[in-house]
Structure 1
Amino acid sequence: MTADNFCSNGNDKEGNIEPKGKAYDSMQKNGPDGEAQGENKGEITDNMEQNLDMSQIIEAKEKEIDNYKNKWLRTQADLENYRKRVERDIQEIHKYAGEKLVKDILPILDNFERALSAIEDKESDLYRGVEMIYEEFKRMLEKHGVKEIEALGKPFDPYYHEAIMTVESNEHEPGIVVEVVRKGYMYNSKVIRPSMVKVSKNN
């Protein structure tokens, strides 16, 4: 057998055997594991798309969860604010529950003061008796949060005072309460009746 014949039977000139046949052709078309390379690429692409879709779904669900969480927190905050507001309203109701009664009592207090002013003999038993009842009445009201507004000699304050007239005065600066016509009162921290006063002005 000649060298040329040997080469033509599948060997190269250097004596190496050249791979031929169906197995070799299959290796050329398929990957090292014997599977079609095209099919592997298709599967990888499908897997990547599936992973991408899953990531998008997870991200969307996380945003949805955050949205519900924020709504829940806002609802909790609204409920807490509502609870506090109701508590304040209840406290205010309790605090000023007797306001109408106090307003009805104040004219009686005014009558005691008129009676004391009308009694000429300040040393008489009548005067002392009326004065004792008057002072006891005032202490009872103070115990329940009723307090007289200080007005005489104070600068005029429209929140606490109601000016019925202005009077010329050389003894006071303008805007000073020089006379209290009717006493004013506060119930706890609320003005329930302003003091009725006369206020000084320039000559």
Structure 2
Amino acid sequence: GIQSFCRDLVEVADILEKTTESAAGEAEPSNPNPTLKKIYEGLSLIEAKLQSVFAKHGLQKMNPVGGKYDPYDHEIVCHVPAEGLQPGTIALVTQDGYKLHGRTIRHALVGVAVESQ
């Protein structure tokens, strides 16, 4: 149904985000190629519009960095030294999670702070 469709679409959003980030690295001021800059700007606009359409239909990207780990929304993929963070706090996200009308349809893959040994 709609949840399966949304899960498939967020995979497309992931690829678009990674491509946009890659283009950003190539479109630096040190690179005088105006075509790369235009490609980056176009990808950024498409990515923003896609997230806007997602939001319009109740599909929200989770931004858990700095929040507490929640097994209903997050999947731990690594532990990182707590350096300035409370243990159990999400320090990094390796894959964005999404909710559809408040219900998790894809867990965010996260790195959680643990006490340094």
TM-score bracket, shorter-length normalisation: 0.7 to 0.9
SS at match of 1:101: helix
2:62 equivalent in structure 1: 149
SS at match of 1:147: strand
Q: Which runs of 5+ in 1 are unaligned?
A: 1-96
Structure 2 counterpart of 1:131, one-letter code: S
Distance 1:166 1:144 in 2: 34
Quick one: structure 1 residues 137 and 122, their matched pair in 2 at CA, closer, same or farther if it must change by over 3 Å?
farther
Distance 1:181 1:137 in 2: 20
Map 1:33-182; keep pairs closer than 5 Å.
97-119=1-23, 120=25, 121=27, 124-182=37-95
* Equivalent residues, number: 107
Per-residue deviation at 1:122? Answer: 5.5
SS at match of 2:75: strand
Quick one: structure 1 residues 100 and 122, their matched pair in 2 at CA, closer, same or farther if it must change by over 3 Å?
farther
Quick one: structure 1 residues 130 and 192, their matched pair in 2 at CA, closer, same or farther if it must change by over 3 Å?
same
Q: Which runs of 5+ in 2 are unaligned?
A: 30-36
Deviations 1:124-161 (A, max 9, x none): 11111000001111111111110111201101111111
Higher RCO (C-alpha under 8 Å, 6+ residues apart)? 2
Q: Which has the higher helix share?
A: 1
Structure 1 counterpart of 2:73, one-letter code: Y
Structure 1 counterpart of 2:17, one-letter code: E
1:200 equivalent in structure 2: 113
Q: Which has the higher strand share?
A: 2
Retained in 2: the 8 A contact 1:169–1:202? yes
Distance 2:21 2:11 in 1: 15
Deviations 1:88-132 (A, max 9, x none): xxxxxxxxx521111111110000111012111257111110000
TM-score by length of 1: 0.51
Whose Rg is larger?
Answer: 1
Distance 2:28 2:75 in 1: 30
**CA RMSD, aligned part only?**
1.3
Distance 1:122 1:188 in 2: 38
Quick one: structure 1 residues 147 and 122, their matched pair in 2 at CA, closer, same or farther if it must change by over 3 Å?
farther
Map 1:6-17; keep pairs closer than 5 Å.
none
